Amino acid sequence: MRARLGILFAGLQVELREVILKNKPAQMLAISPKGTVPVLQLADGAVIEESRDIMVWALEQQDPQGLLDATILPQANDLIEQNDNEFKYWLDRYKYADRHVEMTQEEYRQRGEAFLQVLEALLEKSAYLLGEAPSIADIGIMPFVRQFAHVDRDVFSQLPYPNLQRWLQHWLEHPLFLQTMVKLPVWQEGDDGVVFPSGS
């Protein structure tokens, strides 16, 4: 999701091949043996295998809305690191608490909330995480907060994070986010890729 957001905010187009991970195409494994998504193959054959790196690559090509603003980039990178290395750990256990029986789902949620409290404090000061305009921190973190909220939407709506809830709702209604959610047909060997985004 954040890789697609990076491409959309950069105003780029790519050939997109939707795959089912239970049935990984040989072409995908040939360029990326670790078999995870997303994976981006560049025109020169180079391969980028992490969503964060694809997002950065896209915005380094062009960044019309200034998401890589150099004055806040160190803070943005720190937040994304915390998201990827700490919050995602607790998020995965909260989502799949039945597979991780060391703690209860509520305990996993509470551990994850430590990061939500950091975000809430930032959003008390400004409309976006690091100011009055979106940055790479917003698009790099929002998909994970969305996952957290969707584990139990009723519980999330009751949590004491009104600014975070407002921010998430804003992103869920954002035209570019809605483009990332468009369902595409699953790619099969021999099919053409789909141009993403189409018609721009």
- The boundaries of every CATH 1.20.1050.10 domain in the chain are 73-177
**Distance between CA 182 and CA 185 in Å, rounded?**
10
Looking at residue 135, what is its pLDDT?
98
Cα four-point dihedral sign 188, 193, 199, 200: positive
List of residues 6+ apart from 38 with CB closer than 8 A:
3, 4, 51, 54
Residues of the chain with pLDDT under 70: 199-200
Tokens of 94: 């909260």
- The answer to whether residues 200 and 13 touch, using CB atoms and an 8 Å cutoff, is yes
**Nearest in space to 57 (alpha carbons), one of 124, 136, 163, 125:** 136
pTM of the model: 0.93
Looking at domain 73-177, its CATH class is mainly alpha
Amino acid at 159: L
Query: How high is the pLDDT of residue 191?
Result: 87
**Start-end ranges of CATH 3.40.30.10 in the chain?**
2-65+182-191
Topology at the third CATH level for domain 2-65+182-191:
Glutaredoxin (3.40.30)
pLDDT of res. 32: 92
With 0-12 CB in 10 A as exposed, 13-18 as middle and 19+ as buried, what is 176? Answer: middle
